[in-house]
Structure 1
Amino acid sequence: MCVNYRPPTPEQFGTLGAFSDLPNDWRWPEETWKDYVAPILRRGAHGRIEARLATYGMVPRRRIPPEIKPFDTMNARAESIGERRSFALPWRRLQLCAIPMAWFYEPCYESGRAVRHGIGMADESLFFVAGLWRDWPEEDGTAATSFTQITINADEHPLMKRMHKPDDEKRSLVILPRDEVEDWLGCSDLEVARSFLRHYPAEKMRDWAAPSAPARRAPAPSANLELF
């Protein structure tokens, strides 16, 4: 499934009201990979929407004990989100987040080999993906935040079924309609939350052959940023 994506630039956040207070000199890599720090939206302790910096992957690599084989938690399958140990408690607690993106990347095998494709909105607008978050206590008394993206089966989606190897199950991120983002973040019922886990219309999306991925940078230290 999706392992990296293009977050908005600081300048682009002007089109997303919740991030309008981000400092213009705050910079991050052009592509977000596992354990990279990226911005998310969530509901804070008092019900306010807040922006946070969070690491991509529900269980950061530095939180995995050395005796445990490393595992990936960038994507949470909707079908098992309530049973998987990495995701079950945040899901039951409705620790929901929305992840802003310009586009994400998937491999397409229509040519007979893997070709990296970018996938975004047909009108090239920014969008939000549904996810979960959790906090991790730090030694200094603060908390670092991590997040994962939620995925659903895409065997019948006209665009997303074209991605990945021919015999692999097709999966898709859950793209939230812009007018449903606040409702998603404010869900107080698990069944209502599940009703958001549906496909975005293919005719409102586009895909294109994308350049090769740039060399990965060392992940930046975790950080928090409250804007409200």
Structure 2
Amino acid sequence: MCVNYHTPTREQFGTLGAFSDLPADWRWPDEVWKDYLAPIIRSGRDGLPEPCLASYGIVPRRHIPPGVKPFDTMNARAESLGERRSFAPSWRRLQLCAVPMAWFYEPCYESGRAQRHAIGMQDDSLFFVAGLWREWSEADGSMTSSFTQITINADDHPLMSRMHKPDDEKRSLVVIAPDEVEDWLACRDVEVARSFLRPYPAGRMKDWAAPQTVRKAPVESPNLSLF
């Protein structure tokens, strides 16, 4: 499962449609991990795509009840979207989002041990991954947003089947074609939305060795004023 990816820069994000005028205080890291803030695109109240700064993992760590063993929600399996309590409400309400990326990371075991690989587009272009979002009420009365990425089986995918341990089920993020992003966000039927959850052509993708050089920073509570 993908739990770490590389975000577009603020300048790159400005090239994705009409999103050049982001709030001046929006900040996000180059590499995103659980509970880090990152930009997503979702459908606004007017039905048009809008940017949002949200935390990675649809159930933020701070909202896991005391006494409950911590669990991860960075990835949502397409096969059980309507069943898992963490994801089903957002799926049924069609709270869909598109997560912009430069590339994402997966472990490759072809050498006999885990090696971190980056996976992106052949032409080095930015791309979007299908996801879900939800809102949370915070203790100070503010509202924040969070998101997850949707994954599908990739046992037969020429590139993604090379990732993860040999005996593990192969999974892949759902890459949304650039000309389908607005249609994905505008879905008003879960079966129509499900039709977008399909493999992306391996010939348009590439991977390369990417040893981890950036230390994962400790997570602090998000700056709620950003939302």
Q: TM-score, normalised by structure 1?
A: 0.94
Q: Could you tell me which amino acid in structure 1 is paired with residue 136 of structure 2?
A: W
Contact 2:115 2:211 (8 Å CA) reproduced: no
For 2:187, give the aligned amino acid: C
User: Which 4+ residue blocks in structure 1 deviate beyond 4 angstroms?
Assistant: 23-26, 222-226
Structure 1 stretch displaced more, 188-197 or 5-14: 5-14
Question: What whole-Å deviation, never above 9, does each CA across 1:13-35 have from its counterpart, x for those lacking one?
Answer: 23212421125774322100000
Aligned residue pair count: 226
Q: Which residue of 2 aligns with 1:85?
A: 85
CA displacement, residues 162-196 of structure 1 (integer Å, 9 cap, x when unaligned): 00000000000000000000000000001000000
Question: Are the aligned partners of 1:37 and 1:219 in contact in 2 as well (CA < 8 Å)?
Answer: no
For 1:111, the equivalent position in structure 2 comes to: 111
Deviations 1:89-135 (A, max 9, x none): 11000000000000000000001010100000000000000000000
- Summarize the Cα distance change of 1:23–1:210 in structure 2 as closer, same or farther, 3 Å threshold: same
Tell me whether 144-153 or 18-27 shows the greater mean CA deviation: 18-27
Contact 1:154 1:170 in 2 (8 A): yes
Query: How far apart, CA to CA, are the structure 2 residues paired with 1:24 and 1:162?
Result: 41
Q: State how 1:156-171 maps to structure 2 within 5 Å.
A: 156-171=156-171
Bigger mean CA deviation after superposition, 212-221 or 40-49: 212-221
Please tell me whether the aligned partners of residues 82 and 92 of structure 2 are also in contact (alpha carbons under 8 angstroms): yes
Higher RCO (C-alpha under 8 Å, 6+ residues apart): 1
The match for 1:130 is 130
Q: Is the aligned partner of 1:179 residue 2:162? A: no
| Change in 2 beyond 3 A, CA 1:202/1:196 | same
Which residues of 2 match residues 189-204 of structure 1 at below 5 A? 189-204=189-204
1:54 corresponds to: 54
Counterpart residue number, 1:151? 151
Overall identity of the aligned pairs, in %: 73
Change in Cα spacing, 1:124 to 1:109, as seen in structure 2 (3 Å) is same
SS at match of 2:107: strand
Q: CA RMSD in A?
A: 1.6
Q: 1:48-104 CA deviation, whole Å, 9 max, x = no partner?
A: 321111000010000001200000000000001110000001100000000000000
Counterpart of 2:102, as a letter, is A
Q: Tell whether 2:15 aligns with 1:15.
A: yes
Question: Mean Cα displacement is larger for which, 203-212 or 139-148?
Answer: 139-148
CA distance in 1, matches of 2:118, 2:225: 29
Q: 1:63 is matched with which residue?
A: 63
Supply the distance in 1 between the matched residues of 2:97 and 2:88 (Cα, whole angstroms).
15
SS of the residue corresponding to residue 15 of structure 1 reads coil
Q: Distance in 1 between matches of 2:8 and 2:224?
A: 18
Contact 2:28 2:39 in 1 (8 A): no
- Matches of 1:94 and 1:199, distance apart in 2: 20
Residue ranges of structure 2 left out of the alignment (5+ in a row): none
- Alignment-mate amino acid for residue 191 of structure 2: E
- Taking the aligned partners of 1:171 and 1:205, their CA distance within structure 2 comes to 15
Mapped partners of 1:31, 1:157: distance in 2: 25
